[in-house]
Amino acid sequence: MNYYADKMANLRAEATNAFRRLSAQSVGDTSALAELMEIVFSVEAGPNDRAQAARDLQFRIKTTWGGCAEDNIHLEEAGVFPLVKLNQTKRGYLVSIGRQINGCYASNWFDASAVMMRRLLESSIIEAFEARKLDGKIKDTKTGDFLQFTGLINAALAETGWNLPRNVKKEITELRDLGHRSAHNRYYLATKADIDKLTGTYRETVETFLHLANLL
């Protein structure tokens, strides 16, 4: 057993739990904190970079996050997608998206939650294609930009390099439509029931693509 490797793993787990207990200030603050944590515990970052990130992290915790007394962990964990899964990916931006999904859901901001659900699914699909060196299939041939959400889903369904679960193939268009309506239909207002009926399928779908991306 490597004592220092075990110590680092335990410290990272404690830092992750502390991060989850902090009340969100803003998306920018949350993302910055997650990025600093990732550098501090990265095996690829140099000693100087880790030391500077640790100093910056300590400063932010004592200043920006110093007044966070209320524990809002229930807003992060309860709801649409379990953050424990996103923490496993070691992608700070995915964790931040998940926090927003669950926080909006718990606050009854269902359209906002649905739009962020769309973003997490979109990001998961891109991660899967990139991990398998297939990202050229989801980029516009003229601009090099990633396809829009519908294009990403069509490409994921058509990809022969993997075999999506039957339920994912059947329900992914429903997930697409929920995101579309909340983002683009000015007359549509999502309800709790709209999200609840798709939560199980949504989790299965996102986790499928995260597995394909070797992030879970």
Most confident stretch, 50-54, 60-64, 184-188: 184-188
DSSP states of 31-71 as a string? Answer: HHHHHHHHHHT-SSS-HHHHHHHHHHHHHHHHTTTTT--S-
Confidence of residue 101 (pLDDT cuts 50, 70, 90): very high
Determine what percent of the chain is predicted with pLDDT higher than 70: 75
Backbone angles phi, psi at 74, to 5 degrees: -65, -30
Q: What is the CA radius of gyration of the chain?
A: 19
d(CA 154, CA 26): 33
Half-sphere exposure of 108 (CA within 13 A, CB side): 0
d(CA 92, CA 100): 13
- Residue 47's pLDDT is 82
Confidence of residue 202 (pLDDT cuts 50, 70, 90): very high
Confidence of residue 152 (pLDDT cuts 50, 70, 90): very high
Beta strands of the chain (E only): which ranges? none
Read off the pLDDT of residues 120-147 as tens digits, 9 standing for 90 and up: 999 999 999 999 999 999 998 889 899 9
- Residue 2's pLDDT is 59
| Domain spans in the chain, listed from the N-terminal domain onward | 109-216
Q: Which whole number is the average pLDDT over 174-185?
A: 92
Q: Which whole number is the average pLDDT over 85-108?
A: 91
